[in-house]
Structure 1
Amino acid sequence: MSFVVIGGFARVIHGTGETTSDIDIVPSTRPENLRRLSNALEEIGAAVPAFDVEEPTMIPTPLGDLKVVLTPAGTRGWDDLRRAANREPLGRGVRPSVASPGDLARMLAAVDRDQDMPKLRRLRRLIELEHELSRGRGIER
């Protein structure tokens, strides 16, 4: 199944220090991929809804809430986000694709909610620190 993790959990993976209670994903919208997602949801006992292109679909599961977002604000969906996403190790062999800090910032900026501004500032600072670190590595060579 092809998807990119976005939202709060993706920001946590990148080190923003916030907390979250659900996982947001952007799946590939190819029919076979959406079938795989539906099958996986059925396997864990979750109801399989119709996915909405315009609005996020919140799916309560026995393992926690899953939000499926086909086209997050400021993006063109999975094809757009997968380009800069990295596979991040979460343990037990799980390595999902996680949206880049730049893409996460782009999504928060596009939503433009006051409540997200502190998160956006933390992401932008994280991006600055990553740039400084990569410049430092280039100098040491």
Structure 2
Amino acid sequence: MTGTLEQPASSAIYVQPANEDDVELDLPRLLATLDRHGVTYVLIGGLAAVYHGSPFPTEDADITPDTDPVNLGRLASALRELKARIRVDGMPEGLEFACDVEALAAAQTWNLVTDAGDIDIAFRPSGTRGYADLRRDAIAAEIYDVTVEIASLADVIRSKQAANRPKDLRVLPTLREILARNS
């Protein structure tokens, strides 16, 4: 359904975990935690595509946060509450790391496992200049009682095209068709 993420009867959205050890994505809890900590970000990737009508499931939440140090502090606090750890193949519990402003700022991308599911943090997603670039055309939407900034479908397409990964290339024709239909 274009324009909304459907809210299932339970509080968790099932998003095809890669194996039985993976945690299903509890999107309401994840969004509420980011909101409670005042984190400024744009929802990107598969969930943004689903918001715009993509039929393709996703395994995680992807965000691009504002890189202001105060915001990174809020993000670090939210991630600590979610017990974030670095996602590592063969280690379902993940690898501990110093979840603070300095650590977050030291990398461009973080792939994390939390007790609310997987979250990927990309400060500068492929084909974009980061938060300010994505925020310009983002759409504010109410999801699970939280106002979320969601990347425009054109920006999702631009980023997936630039990433040039097989999983992104497979969905591009459908995303372009949705964009053309809604333009």
TM-score (norm 1): 0.85
Task: Indicate how the Cα distance of structure 1 residues 62 and 81 shifts in structure 2: closer, same or farther if over 3 A, else same.
Answer: same
Answer yes or no: is 1:12 the counterpart of 2:64: no
For 1:7-86, what aligned pairs fall within 5 Å after superposition? 7-47=45-85, 48=99, 50-51=103-104, 55-86=108-139
Q: Which residue of 2 aligns with 1:116?
A: 168
- The DSSP-based 3-state class of the residue aligned with 2:178 is helix
The alpha-carbon deviation at position 53 of structure 1 amounts to 6.4
- The DSSP-based 3-state class of the residue aligned with 2:43 is strand
The alpha-carbon deviation at position 109 of structure 1 amounts to 1.0
User: What is the CA deviation profile of residues 48-84 of structure 1, one whole-angstrom value per residue up to 9, with x for unaligned ones?
Assistant: 2623666420111000011110000100000000000
The alpha-carbon deviation at position 42 of structure 1 amounts to 1.4
Report which of the two has the higher share of helix: 1
Q: Which residue of 2 aligns with 1:139?
A: none
Report which of the two has the higher share of strand: 2
Counterpart code for 1:56 = T
Which consecutive unaligned segments of at least 5 residues does structure 1 have? 132-141
Bigger mean CA deviation after superposition, 98-107 or 120-129: 120-129
TM-score (norm 2): 0.66
Checking the alignment, whether the CA contact within 8 Å between 2:76 and 2:104 is kept in structure 1 is: no
The alpha-carbon deviation at position 122 of structure 1 amounts to 1.2
The alpha-carbon deviation at position 113 of structure 1 amounts to 2.7
